Structure 1
Amino acid sequence: MNEKVAIIGGGIVGASAAYYLSSLPGGSQISVTLYDDGAGQATKAAAGIISPWLSKRRNQRWYQLAKDGATTLMTLARQANLATDIYHQTGTIITRTNEKDLHDLYVLAQERQADAPDMGDVELLSAKEVQQRMPLLTNPQPGIFVSGGARIDGGALVTELLAQAQRVNLTVKHERVNLDGDGNLQFPTGKQHFDHVIIAAGPWLNDLLKPLGIKAAVRPQKGQLIELSVPDYSTQENMPALMPEGERDFIPLGYGKLIVGATHDDEAGFNLTATPEATQDLLNSAKQFADYLTADNVTKVKVGTRAYSTDFSPFFGRLKSHPQLLVASGLGASGLTTGPLIGRLLAGTLIYGGTPDWSNYEKPLSDYLS
């Protein structure tokens, strides 16, 4: 008889888990139901840059997870035949204004290449060379070009992964669910038992685990980004994404569209209202590099809620107290990079069993759950 799996949360982890439960060998024998009411989902509002290799974060577990996550996305893009408006390996440019900082970053890039061949080519660019590759810019800065970097549309990626999984073994239900004290899904009409449940509900994890007497060390963070209309250069579809020092990410999408963001608001909690202050902050950041931009260029504003752990690191795995339950949360701003790998790891352990050792990617789950 087919095993029944429920996934709570249709963001980057939940959608990736659903996709891999449908595509990994043996997964098609599993019946999967995903529940998500769509409110506040960070991935739906997210567009981002996949380029973790030059991060200065000292957390080596996070770096290993992000590095392998970038590789997972490259493979996923080929396997799922993702369109370039979902995932596009355009390369990324990371800028520095100080000459010594730029040199140090270039040295770091060369060192990281040895352990991360998926970085691709690394080039040191002058401000003029940066502008040649990104003619949208009027005030370029010198930087490092990494050819393996990519831009990604989170909402479009989730939609595509779920659509492909639905053709195999996935049912999607747009509703909110709760758990009872035994880990069963609770509905107004009664409870329903699943053999396994993946809880990938971001900052809402605490609400779901409360009936089990478990508290998760996660908090919500509001993020806002803006989409702007810009000149449609013939090369824009293949323009690199820009990670400027001290400013917001600058992501050309092609066809005269530009994404700038995102903000990090720790005080707003689950508030999903777009604010003029955040929009102006993002616009001011964009104008540092493209001074012709005005409020009239803003065509869209998106808001979502991320989950952050106490040490800013993702955590995921099976609950010892309730072995049928698996959780994932705390991805923060790196969710588009790390989420697909986490989803694949969770799907793999459901299909193949065992107790995999993920200590190279995360601290013990008990560090985040009490």
Structure 2
Amino acid sequence: MKRKIAIIGGGIVGASAAYYLSQLPGGDQLSVTLYDDGVGQATKAAAGIISPWLSKRRNQQWYQLAKDGATTLMTLARKANLSTDIYHQTGTIVTRTNEKDLKDLYELAQTRRHEAPDMGEVELLTAQEVQKRLPLLTNPQPGIFVSGGARIDGEAFISELLTQAQRVNLTVKQERVTLDATGNILASAGTQRFDNVILAAGAWLKDLIEPLGLTADVRPQKGQLIELIVPDYPTQENMPVLMPEGERDFIPFGHGKLIVGATHDDEGQFDLNITQEATDDLLKSAQHFDQSLTRDHLVQSKVGTRAYTPDFSPFFGRLTSHPHLLVASGLGASGLTTGPLIGRLLAGTLLYGGTPDWSNYEKNLSHYIH
């Protein structure tokens, strides 16, 4: 008889876990059901940059997770044969206006290249050289080019992973479910019992585990981005993405599509309404680099809800009080980078058991779940 596995949450962690449960050895002995109503999901509203290597965050566990997450994504993209519309290693440009800051950043990049070969080539660029690679820009700044960087369409990414998993062992149910006090799933069809459950509900994890007598130190944060239509340069599909100093990310996707964002609204929490204030903020940020952009270029806005912990670090693992339950949350704005690796680690421990040591990636779960 096949083991029955459930996943609650179809965002970056849940979709990645479902994909790996269909691909790893032993996956053919599983029957996997994923529950998600899709409302407010951060990944569906996300497009982002995969380039963690120049981060100056002091949390070395987070950096190791993000660094290895970027490598995981490179491998996954090849194995899953993802199109360049979904994931494309275009390279990233990180800008600085201060000459000393730029030099310090370049030295940091050279240092980290030795321990992160997937960074690829590192180049110091003048403002004119940046503009040559990103002809959309009318006000370029000098920066550092990292060839291993990539862009990713979050919604298209999880859709493709789930489609591939559904060909093997996955059933997707578009509904919101809850848990009872023992960890069974309460769904529209009644109480559902599974051998193992992955709780990947993001900012909703706190409410999800309340019936278990547990609480999670996660808080919601609203994020909004905008899509603009821009001239379709012949080279646009391969243009690097821009991580400008003090501004929103600037992500050309090819075919005249430009993504700018996203905002970080702690007060907005679970509010999914598109606001004029956020739209204006994002457009103004884009105009710092392309003065030709106006409101007439706006195609659409998207809103989602991220999950953050007090120390801005993600957590994941098996609940000691309920060993058949595995959890993950708190990925924040780096979810597109760290989520696929977390999904793979959870899928692996679910398939093969054991108590893996993930202390190089995270603090103990007891720091976040009580």
Superposed pair shares fold, TM > 0.5: yes
Q: CA RMSD in A?
A: 0.5
CA distance in 2, matches of 1:169, 1:17: 12
Q: For 1:53 and 1:188, locate their aligned partners in 2 and report how far apart those are by CA, in whole Å.
A: 44
Using the TM superposition, give the Cα deviation of residue 318 of structure 1 relative to its aligned residue in structure 2, in angstroms: 0.3
Q: How does 1:129-278 map to 2 (within 5 A)?
A: 129-278=129-278
Amino acid corresponding to residue 301 of structure 2 in structure 1:
V
The 3 A distance-change label for structure 1 pair 106 and 77 is same
Query: 1:187: how far off?
Result: 2.6
1:313 is aligned to 313
- State the secondary structure of the residue aligned to 1:304: strand
Three-state SS of the structure 2 residue aligned to 1:247 is coil
Of 355-364 and 184-193, deviating more is: 184-193
Q: Where do 4+ consecutive residues of structure 1 move more than 3 Å?
A: none
Q: Residues of 1 paired with 2:169 and 2:116: CA distance?
A: 35
Distance in 1, Cα, partners of 2:359 & 2:234? 46
For 1:18, the equivalent position in structure 2 comes to 18
Following TM superposition, by how much is the alpha carbon of 1:189 offset from its aligned partner in structure 2, in angstroms?
Answer: 4.5
Partner deviation per Cα, 1:23-81 (whole Å, 9 max, x = no partner): 01111211100000010000000000000000000000000000000000000000000
Deviation at residue 190 of structure 1 after TM alignment? 2.8
Give the letter aligned to residue 303 of structure 1. V
- Report the number of matched residues: 370
Equivalent in the alignment of 1:101: 101
Q: Which amino acid aligns with 1:347?
A: A
Q: For structure 1, which runs of at least 5 residues remain unmatched after alignment?
A: none
- 2:72 aligns with 72
Which blocks of at least 5 consecutive residues in structure 2 are unaligned?
none
Query: Residue 209 of structure 1: CA displacement?
Result: 0.4
1:305 and 1:20 map into 2 onto residues whose CA distance is 25
SS at match of 2:71: helix
1:305-362 C-alpha deviation (Å, 9 max, x unpaired) = 0000110000000000000000000000000000000000000001111100000000
Q: Which residue of 1 aligns with 2:7?
A: 7
Distance 1:187 1:255 in 2: 42
Query: Aligned partners of 1:127 and 1:29: how far apart in 2?
Result: 55
Q: Partners in 2 of 1:37 and 1:232 — Cα distance?
A: 35
Counterpart for residue 284 of structure 1: 284
CA distance in 1 between counterparts of 2:302 and 2:7 reads: 25
For residues 176 and 230 of structure 1, the distance between their equivalents in structure 2, rounded to whole angstroms, comes to: 38
- 1:134 aligned partner, one-letter code: L
- Tell me the secondary structure at the aligned position of residue 64 of structure 1: helix
Letter in 2 for 1:369: I
Counterpart for residue 82 of structure 1: 82
**Which residue identity lines up with residue 181 of structure 1 in the other structure?**
A
Alignment of 1:43-62 (within 5 A): 43-62=43-62
Following the alignment from structure 2 to structure 1, what is the Cα–Cα distance between the partners of residues 270 and 151?
A: 26
Alignment of 1:342 with 2:342, yes or no, is yes
1:105-156 CA-to-partner distances (Å, cap 9, x unmatched) read: 0000000000000000000000000000000000000000000000000000
**Comparing 23-32 and 48-57, the one that deviates more:** 23-32
> 1:29 aligns to what?
29
